[in-house]
Amino acid sequence: MEQRLVDEDLARVMEPVATANGLSNRYYTDRQCFEAEKERVFFDNWAAIGFAKDVPENGDAMPLTFLGQPLVVIRGRDGKLRVFQNICRHRGMILVREPGRIRGAIRCPYHSWCYDLDGALKATPHVGGPGHNTHAAIDRDALGLIEVRSHVWRDVVFVNISGDAPPFEEAHEKMLARWREFDRPLLHSGADSSFKLEVATNWKLAVENYCESYHLPWVHPGLNSYSRLEDHYHIEEPGAFSGQGTLVYRQLRGDENETFADAPGLGEKWDTAAEYIALYPNVLFGVHRDHSFAIILEPRDNASTVEHVEIYYHDESSTGPERAALRAKNTAQWRVVFEEDIFVVEGMQEGRNAVHFDGGRFSPAMDSPTHMFHHWIATQLAR
């Protein structure tokens, strides 16, 4: 009975936008739904867990917990970034506790089995008895760290924990093609371009809100003074991403009228266009001629999400000290915009305690990118 109800709910979400309901309350409040989502939405797809800039040098390691999974991101001696389960193959001890540089090997703090940066098991001290460091039963070659499939795009580290998703380039072929012009190194200047927001909401509401421009005149009146609703267009790629674009992007100017330098070689469209895309499941990307950003949504629980915001520039002249003031202004401006959204995503979460709510409706004209996201979630959950 319970199972059928869930299926009927999802079937309503998958109707055309004009007749569809949104996902019902349980997908925002119920523990079992959260667990199902963890497996089918996050582990089975390419989920974003962190930023490559946070492991800049060979040997850098960054432990993190994503949806309960202990992971460690390591840049190897070959410069390649890898993600491993952050556990020892001996008794499953957590290996790396603090971010930092690994000089030689990763030594498990329990019985000191040692692993190389590429995950290979290098040493098993006393495993054959005191002073005997081998044992016939312990095949080192078979006991390296367990690697998780990973891929870096636009500095975001994605993982496919199940190992079953198509390769990233295939799964997100359309996304990669859409922004190919921006395919160049993203430059990050550090703390002045980085912040996080802890929000009492379900991560999906942050995606839903990001996808649509409908709320701009009401929630971001400042943005809207130069960016009118009719200057926005929908971006929709079923099964992969959705969002919005603007045709009237204006560069930020400093006190001396200075601007950030453009990414070289951009087409004319980008003189005034900017695009804001939610790449399913949990990254919100933005691109402009002179800067980009990425927001990773870290679901802590049904009603708790951390938004990790990182702003990037496209030219070295933008990340030096002479642009520090303009960068501060840009970061502050984005912070205002993202903070303006907090009361709505928290308010919608609170609203999902209302027992008679039916998931709501969508404006066929304005909400189709949001519905596209719902449709994708429903498709993942109904598989």
Partner 1 sequence: MPLPGPAQPLDRLNGAVIAAHEAGDGMRLAGLYGEAADRFAEDGDIASACFFYTQAYIFALEQGAPEAERYAAVLRRHGRL
Q: Which is nearer to partner 1, 126 or 250 (CB)?
A: 126
List the one residue from 111, 140, 220, 329 that touches ligand FES (CB under 6 A): 111
Tell me how many residues contact ligand FES (CB under 6 A).
Answer: 9
Beta bridge partners of 150: 159
E strand residue ranges, 302-360: 304-313
What SS3 class is residue 155?
coil
Please give the structure tokens belonging to residue 106.
Answer: 């990763």
> Which residues lie near partner 1 (CB under 8 A)?
103-107, 112, 114, 122-123, 125-126, 130-134
Cα(272)–Cα(292) distance, rounded to whole angstroms?
A: 14
Strand order in the sheet with 47-51: 47-51, 156-160, 147-153, 81-85, 69-75, 60-66, 100-101
Interface with ligand FES, residue 91, by CB under 6 A: yes
Interface with ligand FES, residue 235, by CB under 6 A: no
List the one residue from 237, 310, 341, 367 that touches Fe ion (CB under 5 A): 341
List the one residue from 34, 113, 168, 334 that touches ligand FES (CB under 6 A): 113
Closest by CA to 156, choosing from 294, 357, 352, 286, is 294
Classify strands 106-107 and 291-301 as parallel, antiparallel or unpaired. Answer: unpaired
Minimum CB distance to ligand FES, residue 108 (Å): 3
Q: Which is nearer to partner 1, 133 or 317 (CB)?
A: 133
Q: Which is nearer to partner 1, 115 or 260 (CB)?
A: 115
Interface with ligand FES, residue 88, by CB under 6 A: yes
Q: Which is nearer to Fe ion, 60 or 341 (CB)?
A: 341
Cα(265)–Cα(312) distance, rounded to whole angstroms?
A: 17
Q: Which is nearer to partner 1, 130 or 190 (CB)?
A: 130
Identify the sign of the CA torsion 234, 237, 243, 249: negative
Burial class (CB within 10 angstroms; exposed 0-12, middle 13-18, buried 19+) of 114: middle
Q: Which is nearer to ligand FES, 110 or 343 (CB)?
A: 110
Please give the structure tokens belonging to residue 27.
Answer: 């997908």
Minimum CB distance to Fe ion, residue 216 (Å): 7
Cα(5)–Cα(36) distance, rounded to whole angstroms?
A: 15
> Which of ligand FES, partner 1, Fe ion, none lies near 93, with the C-beta cut-off 5 to 8 A by kind?
ligand FES
Interface with ligand FES, residue 121, by CB under 6 A: no
List the one residue from 90, 178, 215, 228 that touches ligand FES (CB under 6 A): 90
Tell me how many residues contact Fe ion (CB under 5 A).
Answer: 1
Buried b (16+ CB within 10 A) or exposed e, 128-158: eeeeeeeeeebeeeebbbeebbbbbbbbbbb
> Which of partner 1, Fe ion, ligand FES, none lies near 65, with the C-beta cut-off 5 to 8 A by kind?
none
> Which of Fe ion, ligand FES, partner 1, none lies near 91, with the C-beta cut-off 5 to 8 A by kind?
ligand FES
Binding region for ligand FES (CB under 6 A): 88, 90-91, 93, 108, 110-113
What residues make contact with Fe ion under the rule CB under 5 A? 341
